[in-house]
Amino acid sequence: MSPHNQSTPARLTAPATEKLPRLILLLLVLTYIVPGLVGRDPWKIDDVVGLATMLTPLRQGGISWLIPHVGPMALAQDGPLVMWTGAGLIHFFGHGLGDVIASRITNLLWFGMTLISVWYGTYLLGRRNEAQPLALPFGGEPTVKDYGRLLADVAVLMLVATVGILLRLHETSFVPAVIAFQSLAFCALARMLDKPKLGALMLSLAMAGAFLTRALPGLLPVLLASLIAFSPRSALWISRKWLIASVLLALCCIAAWLIPAYRAAPEWLSEWLHWNSLYFGLPDAYIALRPLRDLPWFLWPVWPLAALALWQWRRWITAPHIWIPLALTLGMLLMLPITAETGEPEFVLFVVPLSVLAAFALPTMRRAVINTLDWFALMCFSVAITCVWVGWFALHFGVPHQIQLNIQRLTQGFAPHIVWWTIIVSALFTLLWIVLVYWRLRLRPSMLWRGGMLCASGITITWALLALLWMPAVDYVRSYRPMSSQIHQVLAKLPTMNGQLACSRSQGLSLGARASLYVFDGISFSYDSNCPYVLQQTTQEQLEQGLAGYSDGASVLWEGSRGADRYDRYRLLRVQTK
């Protein structure tokens, strides 16, 4: 007898599938995503670079609408989709909301796309016969619809509860979009089981979107996962012709951008292909071992539950509800050995499939194990919320003193100030957590989603408290806005021939700093060797040792740093030209 026809390891009663109110789930995900999108500047590297590529076509027009630019500098990496989406939203909403807030509407779109795809894909898989729990001797098992909805809710809760993606989902970068298109690919594969034409269309959009977001590093994990999902032993094998159709349609969408890009800027496309090729390669030993060190905390708490799901459902490994998320996981695992340098942009692609697998683990777990998940959430996030408040008291009132000294060293120059409405809202969030703790300990609910709800609520409330109480200090440390304003003021006072901002070149300037100066004050850099002004990025150590360069015939017009940065130093120099 086929394993798929045997009784499954899932054991569940109808009360355990009691519906999670939609309003509570909606409020939870909104509380998760909105804090961190408002009340702060874009931070360096991916966050601010993404915003700079969105602003450049609106300010410069021309070819910057076709290929990403940071000011006049073409950015030969990734794809244009995030740029197009953000530029369009800034165009329509920037006048009312401001450029920064308008650009972050993209985060809401990608996050919404992720949640809908994960929820509906899990719901489709959870309703299949292979996933159903064991029928009880005297009845009382959940209905197919209730069971599918429960699993879908838990998958969303586990995704929100994953520690590693929290900051990344709030960046104006390619990362939220890559997660969204991988989620769409998951939902497409689940949909192809019963509606192959619609699923094939969704899969082609997911592949094309992943490529137009992150080029080959975005496309290949989805493509490899799709090939694995259509293995001969899987339920998708009979629909394999639709996989070919999906790939062909995706290639047509990709060509619709690549061909005009090549005709408009063949040199840029050559550099872009070079960047794609550099992404792949055999990693050094310490880089190859990095996932073993970083993934366990990055994917907490979903990876233990996902591993348990694979063990409990091992006889049903080719059943769609296990095989499809496993295929997405394997697709990313196959990428790790051929990626020259792995990091968080790669790790995020494990979260969606592991969250789905974690959801299918819960119906197979004993009550004692499920209670362990509840207790972990209660203890871990109670401690985290307490630490947020203790640190805030130390920052503003000097108690405990040692913690205050540690914070002052990291935020040197920051002047703490109390905004009372943030304190009131933070207190309400803390009270909400106390209510959740009481609800779990006193009422002892039987719903299976309670552990996922506690984990997701814990990380959401902790994040909201950090955004409310700590955002001014963190923004001071990480924002380039004050430094950019100082440089702009100096450049504006320098003599020019055309009355515009004085030209400036760059020396050693990082991409994050370059993008920040362009975003905040429209400062772009010339490639003209006759320009007498140079903005140099160096370090405090190099300055002290006299190794910063431009020591002969150069005068320092301005020198400074970003916030409490203790390492990097920036100098605006007047140099001799030919």
Q: What is the pLDDT of residues 387-404, one digit of tens each?
A: 999 999 999 999 899 999
Mean pLDDT of 397-416: 90
- The token pair that represents 268 in the structure block: 């840029």
Asked if 215 and 77 count as a contact pair (C-beta separation under 8 A), the reply is yes
Model confidence over 444-487: pLDDT tens digits? 888 999 999 999 999 999 999 999 999 999 999 989 999 999 99
Averaged pLDDT, 275-301: 91
Residue scoring higher pLDDT (551 or 515): 515
What would the DSSP string read from start to end of 81-127?
HHHHHHHHHHHHHHHHH-HHHHHTHHHHHHHHHHHHHHHHHHHHHHT
Per-residue model confidence as pLDDT tens digits over 173-223: 999 999 999 999 999 999 999 999 999 999 999 999 999 999 999 999 999
pLDDT band at 549 (very low <50, low <70, confident <90, very high): confident
| Closest by CA position to 449, among listed 15, 128, 123 | 15
Band the pLDDT of 21: cuts 50, 70, 90: very high
Is residue 565 exposed (0-12), middle (13-18) or buried (19+ Cβ within 10 Å)?
Answer: middle
CB 261 within 8 A of CB 211: no
Strands 73-74 and 555-560: unpaired
CA angle 104, 168, 371 (to 5 degrees): 120
pLDDT band at 552 (very low <50, low <70, confident <90, very high): low
Find the mean pLDDT for residues 503-529: 92
Lowest average pLDDT, out of 41-45, 199-203, 329-333, 418-422, goes to 41-45
The reported pLDDT for the residue numbered 392 is 96
Residue 578 pLDDT grade (very low, low, confident, very high; cuts 50, 70, 90): low
Among the residue ranges 270-274, 358-362, 374-378, 425-429, the one predicted with the least confidence is 374-378
Average pLDDT, the chain: 93
For residue 511, the tally of other CB atoms under 10 A from its CB is 17
Higher pLDDT, 340 or 134: 340
Which of the four pLDDT bands, split at 50, 70 and 90, describes residue 4? low
pLDDT reported for residue 391: 95
More confident residue, 285 or 264: 264
pLDDT band at 309 (very low <50, low <70, confident <90, very high): very high
Give per-residue pLDDT as tens, 128-148. Answer: 999 999 887 766 788 999 999
Predicted pLDDT at 5: 46
**Is the pLDDT score of 2 beyond 50?**
no
- The sign of the dihedral angle between the CA atoms of 482, 485, 487, 493 is negative
Q: Are 172 and 104 in contact (CB under 8 A)?
A: yes
DSSP 3-state of 522: coil
Burial code (b: 16+ CB inside 10 Å, e: under 16) for 448-487 equals: bbbbbbbbbbbbbbbbbbbbbbbbbbbbbbbbbbbbbebb
- The full set of domain ranges for the chain reads 32-364, 367-478, 481-574
Is the per-residue pLDDT at 6 higher than 70? no
pLDDT at 286: 84
Structure tokens at 301: 């708490």
Q: In percent, how much of the chain has pLDDT > 90?
A: 79
- Going by pLDDT thresholds of 50, 70 and 90, the confidence category of residue 108 is very high
* In the predicted structure, residue 353 carries a pLDDT above the cut 80: yes
pTM of the model: 0.95
Say whether pLDDT at 287 is over 90.
no
pLDDT value of residue 1: 40
